Structure 1
Amino acid sequence: MNKTFSLSLDERIKSKKQIDRLFKGGGAKAMSAYPLRVVYLAEPMGEDESTVAQMMVSVPKRYFKRAVKRNHVKRQVREAYRLNKHILLEALAADEVADSRRKMSLCFIWTSDQLVSTDVVADKVRNLLTRIAERIASNHKNTPAE
């Protein structure tokens, strides 16, 4: 099995502290590609951590009352992330060479009351990950060398 296309439990955000840092810490950035919005935060990586990027998916009950539909959307987003996370990981690896090691926390938030096809979700996730990777690359270029 090709490990790069897996989405292990270590790659999911499960810690309340990490979620609070992502939403209440003030350093997070966000961008949208309808019907998805991503909130992300780059932080220094601890000594005991091995996962470079962690993600979570939120589908508000306001948009889908039934859990079946919310779970369906979450599966679509996780699958799209699993197949396209290499875009983000490559950008983080290129940034890591020059910088100290950083980890990225991402939260994908659904912002529509309509279900869309898996291809559209995959396209939007790919778009968001590409834009985040471009921001990482541009921040890396703008940082003065010591």
Structure 2
Amino acid sequence: MTSSQQLPKSERINSKKLIDRLFKGGGAKSMSAFPLRVVFMTEDGDAHEPFAQMMVSVPKRFFKRAVKRNLVKRLVREAYRRNKQVLIDTLQTAEQRKTLSLCFIWTDHNLRSYEEVERKTANLLQRIAEKIGKDMAEEAENAEQ
């Protein structure tokens, strides 16, 4: 297994400050692909930080039992792990070092198959990569002027 196929602890968001910046900072963007919604934000990063960090949130109002909430989190984390290379490739091509923070939020009362969760996650990651690539191109264009 290559290192890009792993999801080490360093690639998970566990900082309260980062979570607050993601949801209250104002610089975050959001996309949806039912049953998932993703909130993401890019920041200038340094060399020792990973390119992307993620977290998964499954509200208690959708699944009262922790077993089901944990199952959904495992499904989303695995789908992210298998498809994250799209984002990392986009972030690595940038001239300046950028880091991406992501939060996947489950928005459905029903469990879904892994195939559907992976398809929706891959769709969201592809759309985020396109948006980031476009934003970085605009920043580079503005910097040249």
Which category of TM-score, normalised to the shorter sequence, fits these structures?
over 0.9
User: In structure 2, what is the Cα distance between the partners aligned to 1:77 and 1:41?
Assistant: 19
RMSD: 1.1
When the two structures are superposed, what TM-score results if normalisation uses the length of structure 2? Answer: 0.94
Paired position in structure 2 for 1:124 = 120
SS in 2 for 1:115: coil
Paired position in structure 2 for 1:50 = 49
- Is it true that 1:111 corresponds to 2:110 in the alignment? no
**Post-superposition offset of 1:128:** 0.3
Paired position in structure 2 for 1:60 = 59
Paired position in structure 1 for 2:16 = 16
SS in 1 for 2:84: helix
Q: Which amino acid aligns with 1:30?
A: S
User: In structure 1, what is the Cα distance between the partners aligned to 2:46 and 2:16?
Assistant: 17
User: In structure 2, what is the Cα distance between the partners aligned to 1:87 and 1:30?
Assistant: 18
Q: Which runs of 5+ in 1 are unaligned?
A: none
Paired position in structure 1 for 2:129 = 133
**Post-superposition offset of 1:138:** 1.3
**Post-superposition offset of 1:140:** 2.5
1:65-114 deviation per Cα after TM superposition (whole angstroms, max 9, x unaligned): 000000000000000000000011011112x2x3x211000000000000
User: In structure 2, what is the Cα distance between the partners aligned to 1:140 and 1:3?
Assistant: 26
User: In structure 2, what is the Cα distance between the partners aligned to 1:50 and 1:65?
Assistant: 35
User: In structure 1, what is the Cα distance between the partners aligned to 2:49 and 2:63?
Assistant: 35
Paired position in structure 1 for 2:41 = 41
Q: Which runs of 5+ in 2 are unaligned?
A: none
**Post-superposition offset of 1:11:** 0.3
Return structure 1 stretches of 4+ with deviation > 4 angstroms: none
Q: Which amino acid aligns with 2:130?
A: E
User: In structure 2, what is the Cα distance between the partners aligned to 1:54 and 1:141?
Assistant: 22
**Post-superposition offset of 1:14:** 0.4
- Is it true that 1:102 corresponds to 2:98 in the alignment? yes
Q: Percent identity?
A: 57
Note if contact 2:41-2:102 (Cα within 8 Å) is conserved in structure 1. Answer: yes
